[in-house]
A and B are shown apart, each in its own frame.
Chain A
């Protein structure tokens, strides 16, 4: 415990810094960050151009003011974020903790804690750093931690100290004298893994994750504990894990990038035209005009035209408006807030509102074409109820729901520890248990022993189970109600009350669950000293490992299992095995060796487990019901109407998946055919895929198009093929592995896209991601993945938009998602209402924004023909400065934040309204070109109407009005009014805020204009405001107003006429709904139709028992996918901590050590 010695190794101390900037580095760093954005750099370049006097056609402030405006907004946002981070850091760094120093406990700030220190934690304290647990107040050195901050799970996890260190207890002297050496792997970000050894008094102990307290956890139910700091501050797993997330961009973003490049090209083109024409002009007229306007020294016609090019670059730069990107961000942010605020996506039971975790994707919600959904916890509630079981070949449980009325609930009152919420409908089972049938008793004994549930007994008799997964909880609860009450556990014993008698089992080993093994076993020594291995796991796995003697039972049970699966129940098979004392001893020894091995620990353990879990005796099977969430079938129906295709990717068995498909309306009776693909070879899969469309062409038609503008980026799109009738496709994981191969995946995609419904079952998380990527890549469609568990994380990250259900299964999915809410049914509101609105808003915004800026800019182009292509501006420089930032900023935002073409009820009523978004109809290249044409027209009108009416005319007192300044004022006023008139036409939804914005902007325009053109301003800043008196002298002229009126009307009328004709001749669905919405009253909220409960008689399908997941896992194909970083769980019985486990363990390259003398 020598601090100075530990310090000499130079480990990171415990202070953390998540902030990016400090006070001094903020300005340079932030500016650097911002100028790395292309747009900002471009405007900086313009600003530099403007400082060259020969080129500068505008004063520097025209660019500088907006640029500074934009930069400061972003800077303020960044600074605010950073200050928050600073605050957060400071708060965390200043937390106090007791540190053992010089033989006594001292209260220290977190940031002063060093590696090698021993700290004392008390109940409900946050864990300071990554600690090696030394001792605790609880018996057997257990501590309970909550890992909510790490992985979002709120259930308690148990950590246990080494017995050797546990003896230290809270003996300060002993702890102070603690001397050991810890060798461990270098800091990494894997939450679930830790490997190391502790050398103490020449004994070597293995350290693993169970002995580590990770920073970010909270100590619960534990009075105190001592820990040795292993990693501090930035080295902790929490900090290592706070990673860079993938930045998702929307398709509109991509389109925008292309358009901006187009615009740059267009800008260059216009400038080149101007430069060439300027060269001609200078040659023919300019050189003659030198009498009155001499050229500057050293500039001839050619150089002048070159300079003109750059001058026009400056003038015409407003086609790429500086505020565009900022405005887009603001709009998305606004839409995200609207999602957060929506009460109809708030789930009162969990007190969870919907949450937009990414604020940059909102408009893409309106373009979803494919939804990939997880089943468990997403479509289903993930609330498990123990429903049926098969014991020793006899099936128990309710026989469908037909006889429901007649069956009274089983009365569990004989068992005073029963859970009152539990219900079961088969009396015979209770009778069997009470009669002491040995198999039945063994069955429930297994259920009460073989699990990782933590009991919590707050009051006598009031048991509460902390289960890591709901089905485990359901099973233990079932056992409890049938008289095998799991009462308490210690690391070495399990206390069960069997039919009223307390029995204590000694727990010898837990062969834990993981997704490869798909089973878990416990080895216990009964009170009589009998050694037994209890195993429960996926039926396929268990059935493979049975003793041949129970073949007959196996057949019976398999039938039951198939039936259960057919009913959409989740099944588990249970088996046991009596063990030999001597064998056990040997095994334990080997197990210990394997478990402290530094290398290939996993593999060795697996081998050992494999060895012992064989020749087991089958006990029976359980079936747990997984209830559908509210409103799932209706939602799916709605989404299907909106032409969104839903693919279910689930880890469940084919029969279960199929059944869920039927019960939530994805597969329908009236479907023409449902195809199953479950071949075991590539050829077989191909054959089955082709079987579905024998008449189709041999090769899927792939159109290759070049995406982007300048990039050579090939995009291959698989064309949709028309099919008659509705089809469904069910493909299992094994076949999917083949189908995802390079040569077959297009075939798969083509087939799958012809089907209404695709269900992939028995898929691994990686395959989920692969399927998503396949569709993403070859369909160029926007995809959405929705899921709740850690096994959906890869899919959520792969899809364009990831949605997390903040449900029962931890927060991992939510943490990596872009949007989250509590119930699947909110998806329809998110997409059909919010997504649609966001998309419409963004499209309207872009269309309008381009219109307004092109119109604004093109006026300069026309004017060039009258001013010798000299880059003279049409407007006052101040108008150019304020146009985008002040005059039009708010009305545009108003349009794009509050616009609704039809309200939410109508949107939900007519899901078809969603389809234009999928087809990208509102804003695409064509729309952009239309927009440019429109603004060409408008700018022509706006320039030539004032031109014609001002030409050679005078004021009503004979004085001048055709001067440059009056003309500029007239042109800019016309422009502004036309732009607002256009806004008026584009806005469908005029709230008071919109009105306010528009009228205030007009008022502000006139106020600013009159102020700037007033004599006072001129006298104060003589050279900045040369337009003195222009407003006063020209805006009192009737023909000025007549001109304004005429030009605005000429700009607006054709648009009105055109739109009217469109509505009359080719009304879109929107127009129709809008017209309907106007005529009719609001539709009543759709009554929640209760779907007819389907009588599931699908067991016929269930007999086609297909190859299981386990075989797939074992097959080469699966293992070859080398980079399986996030191989998450297939089933949900294990802690999500394990779910991140990588397939290949990195060998330790470096050993970090820590010593405590």
Chain B
């Protein structure tokens, strides 16, 4: 495809004649620059057999190994998934799901036993997955107030106390409606996204072969993007360093059990910078998604993080999804350099590579059969 041809400076065809009347008259002869005469040197690629065919073969040859590599990598990732929605009568969570009501103050707990066939090495990541949950719905996506979440104290002020103040946007953004305020008190954090935050609690126990059930330590920090945690989300800094005091005068979102300043005991993980909250606030692109819930840190010794054996998942069932036919899942996964388990890329690369190779052959045949015909191109003059 690379043919370089530089058009030579061609002579003009005219004899240059100075303008009539000598040099006083302005000569209107256009300037002889490559730009104005459209003679800029240029690279003129052409699709020829010499460039197209090798390109196809080379692409094929490159793609297939990459694809195989990706596929193998993806296959080496271990992933375990449990659906605990509980709309099946046999499911341990059936009762919790059935009896769910928003007024329940006492959470319903269900335990799900499961078995890992393979030991999980290195760090293991624990996700919760939701399906049919439209976090990408337009009205949902915009139902948040970024300046409130960034610690803008004005967005936490009482709204319509004075008309002047309200005009100056000193209340949660109106995008948060209808979750902006209750009884003239602003909701912190406001909006439908925050309101619908995932609030099941998942705990993991390892059932030792000798009968004891050992709780597995789950790390709840380091699960959000650094930029989110440190830039995008900030707790409001009032006169008081106490979060409780800062959020004074606000109300918790309707669906929440606890106000935002009681999400965690750790001050670095409380309020708006609670990482569970941050992860939830990063809305998913598709209606089926998974979000990082906890990290199971690798132990120091040589033993695998999660050895083979029986485990129990204990769920505090707070989050209703049955009403909109959603599903809830718990996923345990290891990762690789290319992220989580996703065989698509590998397969796609292999396919595209093979198709390229095949196309290359087809084009070669076509070229051999017909191509020579127009090499002897007879363009009449």
**Residues of A participating in the B interface, judged by any CB pair closer than 8 Å:** 57, 285, 288-289, 291-294, 296-297, 311, 338, 340-344, 346, 348-349, 351-353, 837, 866-868, 870-872, 898, 900, 903-905, 909-910, 912, 945, 947-968, 988-994, 1015, 1018-1019, 1022-1023, 1026, 1028-1029, 1032-1033, 1037-1039, 1042-1043, 1046, 1049-1050, 1053, 1056-1057, 1059-1061, 1063-1065, 1067, 1069, 1071-1078, 1082, 1085
Contact = CB atoms under 8 A, between A and B. Distances in A.
A565 B74 CA distance: 91
A338 B137 contact: no
B370 A1064 contact: yes
Given A291-B196, A296-B178, A1082-B8, 14 more contacts: A57-B138, A291-B320, A344-B13, A351-B20, A949-B345, A950-B285, A952-B289, A1022-B146, A1029-B232, A1050-B352, A1060-B49, A1067-B377, A1077-B5, A1078-B44
Contacts of A956: 335-339
A1039 B133 CA distance: 25
Contacts of A866: 136, 285-287
Contacts of A988: 44-46
Interface in B133-170: 133-141, 143, 145-147, 150, 152
A698 B163 CA distance: 86
A1074 B5 CA distance: 11
Contacts of B290: 952, 954, 962
Interface in B362-381: 363, 366-367, 370-371, 374, 377, 379-381
Interface stretch (B33-41, B182-190, B303-311): B33-41
A867 B15 contact: no
B237 to A, nearest CB: 14
Contact of A1072 (B140, B147, B377): B377
A351 B19 contact: yes
Nearest to B145: A1023
Contact of A989 (B44, B359, B363, B371): B44
A809 B323 CA distance: 88
B354 to A, nearest CB: 13
Contacts, number: 319
A1039 B43 CA distance: 33
Taking chain B's interface residues, is the majority helix, strand, or loop, or is none over half, making it mixed?
A: loop
Contacts of B135: 964
Of all A-B residue pairs in the complex, the 5 with the closest CB atoms, nearest first, are A1029-B227, A967-B285, A292-B196, A341-B36, A870-B138
B340 A954 contact: yes
Nearest to B20: A351
Nearest to B349: A1046
Nearest to B338: A1039
Nearest to B342: A953
A311 B192 CA distance: 20
Contact of A353 (B28, B143, B320): B28
Interface in B168-184: 173, 177-178
Interface stretch (B110-118, B201-209, B264-272, B276-284): B276-284
B302 interface: no
Contact of A949 (B41, B291, B342): B342
A1078 B5 contact: yes
Contact of A903 (B7, B137, B146, B152): B7
Contacts of B195: 292
Contacts of B363: 1057, 1060-1061, 1064
B348 A945 contact: yes
Contacts of B43: 990
B344 A1069 contact: no
Contacts of A1063: 47
Contacts of B295: 958
Taking chain A's interface residues, is the majority helix, strand, or loop, or is none over half, making it mixed?
A: helix
Contacts of B291: 960
Contacts of B380: 912
A584 B70 CA distance: 112
B10 A905 contact: yes
B25 A291 contact: no
B232 A1018 contact: yes
A1085 B196 CA distance: 77
A287 to B, nearest CB: 9
Contacts of A963: 282-285, 289
Q: Which of A992, A1018, A1057, A1059 has the most CB of B within 10 A?
A: A1057
A1023 B173 contact: yes
B134 to A, nearest CB: 5
A957 B44 CA distance: 45
A491 B82 CA distance: 114
A910 B381 CA distance: 6
B7 A1023 contact: no
A1072 B378 CA distance: 9
Contacts of A1073: 379
B285 A962 contact: yes
Nearest to B8: A1082
A950 B363 CA distance: 33
B16 interface: yes
B11 to A, nearest CB: 8
A1018 B345 contact: no
A843 B139 CA distance: 41
Given A296-B178, A948-B344, A1060-B52, A1029 B228 contact: yes
B98 to A, nearest CB: 16
B329 to A, nearest CB: 10
Given A955-B339, A967-B285, A1023-B147, A1059 B47 contact: yes
Nearest to A346: B29
B64 interface: no
Nearest to B380: A912
12 contacts: A285-B132, A344-B14, A870-B134, A870-B136, A905-B10, A949-B342, A952-B290, A958-B333, A964-B284, A1029-B231, A1060-B47, A1061-B366
